[in-house]
């Protein structure tokens, strides 16, 4: 902690009085998350890498904040030395769930403003960023036992639906010129009631792509947390994109738990429980049996 305090002090330009844990801190990666109190009495959020993987993600975040500059949808960026990132303390904001009246509408508007912003000039295309992640129904079809073991559909239903699913996935596109966060979920969203900001955190997947990608990602996670059905957020949802997202969860939810992120598979299964019937409704398939 002494070394971390010294590095935070060098980033923000003033002495660090204390560094403390954040009770119930979210996030599915093992990156270190702390709150630092500074000599002037203010507090800041600190994220520090703990291995090569998290160090790489932090460097991407640093580049994202520095390339995008101050924006209402970003936390205030105070600096980064490559493996220690310092941002504004957002503990006073509302981190859904629960989803209060008006929260969903605010987030939908906030994501529209985010998508309307130009991505960094060197942002990776979403097609590249999602390579091997969002065209995977063929992999599920080749080895369906893991997906079928989840009990969300029968083998007979899967066999009947597979051609329609594969055709819908193949017809999908991720192309576009919008700023894409790539991982919009409730634990990456903070609603600040004082100034009306909707802040999105964890910018390690910044991409350029279709302007409705983040909204589609959010729609199913909101319902998984007790919010409205995905159609309420995306009434004109793209069946092909929903099929691609469903395939991601169908492929990954059955996999073994990740030691450094043990909650990921449970979250993926919860999201698959929403995405699979959403996809079938959009494709005109019979309900999974």
pLDDT of 142 higher than 90: yes
Angle, in degrees to the nearest 10, between helices 239-252 and 155-170: 130
What's the topology of domain 2-88?
Phosphorylase Kinase; domain 1 (3.30.200)
- Tokens representing 160? 């009947």
Least Cα distance to 225 among 289, 257, 273, 260 occurs for 273
**Does position 155 have pLDDT exceeding 60, yes or no?**
yes
Q: Where are the alpha helices (DSSP H) in 117-208?
A: 126-129, 137-142, 145-148, 155-170
CA-CA distance, 77 to 88, in Å (whole number)?
7
Q: Is the pLDDT of residue 154 over 80?
A: yes
Whole-number Å distance between alpha carbons of 184 and 156:
34
pLDDT tops 60 at residue 26:
no
From the list 159, 206, 177, 189, the residue with the least C-alpha distance to 63 is 206
End-to-end CA distance of the chain: 53
- CATH 3.90.1200 in the chain, residue ranges: 103-283
Q: Is 116 exposed, middle or buried (0-12, 13-18, 19+ CB in 10 A)?
A: exposed
Q: Which of 184, 190, 187 is nearest to 233 (CA)?
A: 184
Whether the predicted pLDDT of 175 surpasses 90: yes
16-21: strand order across its sheet: 16-21, 32-38, 43-48, 84-88, 77-80
Joined together, the tokens standing for residue 271 give 């999201």
Q: How confident is the model at residue 131 (pLDDT cuts 50, 70, 90)?
A: confident
Q: Alpha-carbon torsion 148, 149, 153, 155, what sign?
A: positive
What are the residue ranges of CATH 3.30.200.20 in the chain? 2-88
Q: Is 277 within 8 Å of 288 (Cβ atoms)?
A: yes
Please write the tens of the pLDDT for every residue from 201-249: 999 999 999 999 999 999 998 998 888 899 999 999 999 999 999 999 9
pLDDT grade, residue 27 (50/70/90)? Answer: low
Question: CATH top-level class for 103-283?
Answer: alpha beta
Residues 6+ positions from 8 with CB-CB distance below 8 Å: 16, 19, 36, 44, 46, 84, 86
Taking only the tens place, the pLDDT of each residue in 60-116 is 999 999 999 999 999 999 999 999 999 999 999 999 999 999 999 999 999 999 999
- Higher-pLDDT residue of 63 and 187 is 63
Asked if 68 and 120 count as a contact pair (C-beta separation under 8 A), the reply is: yes
Q: How confident is the model at residue 149 (pLDDT cuts 50, 70, 90)?
A: very high
Q: Is the pLDDT of residue 252 over 60?
A: yes
| Cis ω before 97 (30° cut-off from 0) | yes
Q: How many angstroms separate the CA atoms of 121 and 237, rounded?
A: 28
CB 32 within 8 A of CB 3: no
Average pLDDT, the chain: 94
Q: Residue 25 pLDDT > 70, yes or no? A: no
């Amino acid at each position: 902690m002494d070394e971390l305090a010294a590095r935070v002090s060098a980033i923000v330009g003033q002495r660090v009085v204390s560094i403390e844990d954040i009770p119930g801190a979210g996030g599915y990666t093992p990156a270190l998350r702390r709150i630092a109190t500074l000599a002037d009495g203010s507090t800041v959020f600190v994220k520090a890498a703990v291995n090569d993987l998290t160090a790489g993600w932090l460097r991407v975040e640093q580049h994202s904040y520095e390339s995008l500059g101050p924006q209402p949808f970003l936390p205030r960026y105070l600096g980064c030395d490559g493996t220690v990132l310092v941002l504004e303390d957002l503990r006073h904001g509302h981190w859904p769930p629960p989803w209060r009246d008006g929260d969903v509408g605010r987030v939908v508007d906030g994501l529209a403003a985010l998508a309307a912003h130009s991505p960094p000039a060197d942002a990776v295309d979403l097609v590249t960023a999602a390579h091997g992640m969002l065209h995977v129904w063929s992999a599920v079809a080749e080895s369906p036992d893991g997906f079928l073991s989840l009990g969300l559909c029968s083998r007979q239903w899967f066999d009947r639906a597979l051609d329609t699913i594969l055709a819908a996935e193949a017809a999908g596109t991720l192309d576009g010129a919008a700023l894409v966060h790539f991982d919009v979920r409730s634990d990456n969203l903070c609603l600040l009631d004082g100034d009306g900001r909707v802040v999105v955190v964890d910018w390690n997947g910044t991409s350029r792509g279709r302007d409705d990608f983040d909204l589609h990602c959010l729609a199913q996670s909101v319902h998984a947390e007790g919010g409205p059905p995905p159609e309420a957020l995306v009434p004109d949802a793209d069946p092909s994109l929903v099929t691609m997202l469903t395939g991601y969860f169908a492929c990954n939810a059955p996999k073994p738990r990740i030691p450094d992120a043990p909650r990921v598979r449970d979250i993926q299964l919860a999201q698959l429980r929403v995405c699979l019937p959403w996809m079938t409704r959009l494709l005109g398939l019979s309900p999974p049996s």
